[in-house]
Every structure is written in C-alpha cells, then in structure tokens.
Amino acid sequence: MTTPELVAQSIFCEHLRQELQGVVSLIGIMPDNIAIPPSRALSSPAEPQVAVVPSLSVYTRVRLPLDRQPRSDIAVQFVSPSGQMIYEAPIELDFILRSFSEAQQQGNEYLLVIQQANLANFPVVELGRYVVSVLYGGERYFSGALRITEQ
C-alpha cells in the first residue's frame, strides 16, 4: 500500500481544553462556513471594518509515514482570504527526527505531530475563506478552511 508523504487535518472550534494524559477536548466544533453579525464602521471610513470572533481555536494533526525518513521542518500556516499571514507555527526537524525515532520504537505506522492555536477575540477584517496549510519538503498541503461571511 502506498502512503502519502503527509496527511494533515485542521479542525476549527471555539475552545481547546487540555485534559489528563495528553487528551485534548475540542469544544464547539465549527462547520466549514460560519456567519458573523455585520461589522460596524470604525471612527474613520479609511480604516477597515472589524468584527470579532470571541473564541476561535485551530487544532491541526499532521501525520508522517514511518516508511520514509523525514526530510524537512514543518510549518503550519493560517492565512486570510487575501493571503495575509495570521500565524505560522514551525516544527523543527530535530524535534521531528527525535519523535520519529520514538514512534518507530513504539511500533507505530506513522508519526503524529499536533499543533494548537488559540485565537481569542479574533479580528475579522475581511470576509472569505481562511486557510490552514502545512509546508513540508518544499510542498504545501491543504489542512483545513473556514469561510467567514456576514449574517
């Protein structure tokens, strides 16, 4: 069976809660599209209108197969509809290699790397599709998207 180079999935939710023994509870999982109340104009018409999503968290799982050696750092990126970087979370190759070796010793089929982001009071300065992707080995892998529209 051929395994893909990397599998990534991002889930958007309201809160991430750390539980005992490494368990994470995802609370208020969002659909792929959410509608927010219309934004109010700020004091200056030249400034963008801003709405706020009070609680936004992103939970990303990245799986690397153990049948090939890791080849580079990983970067989880979250970008706005216009391509503006909201955040980038690097995962360094040294950490991946150590974790890779541990996963092999445990008899796993793949290495699982998790990245979490809490974006409280997330400012929505533009409507549209916000995308999470994973950069690995010079390739960009789609991980998830959240389309934000007005009600």
Q: Could you report the per-residue pLDDT of 11-68, keeping only the tens digit for each? A: 999 999 999 988 999 999 999 999 988 765 444 455 666 788 999 999 999 999 999 9
pLDDT digits (tens, 9 = 90+) for 95-128: 999 999 999 999 999 999 999 999 999 999 899 9
Average pLDDT score over residue span 133-149 = 96
24 Cβ contact list (under 8 Å, min separation 6): 16, 17, 18, 59, 114, 116
Decide if 75 contacts 91 (C-beta within 8 A).
yes
pLDDT at 37: 83
pLDDT at 40: 57
Q: What is the pTM of this model?
A: 0.89
Instruction: Match domain 7-150 to its CATH number in 1.10.630.10, 2.60.40.1930, 1.10.645.10, 3.40.50.620.
Output: 2.60.40.1930
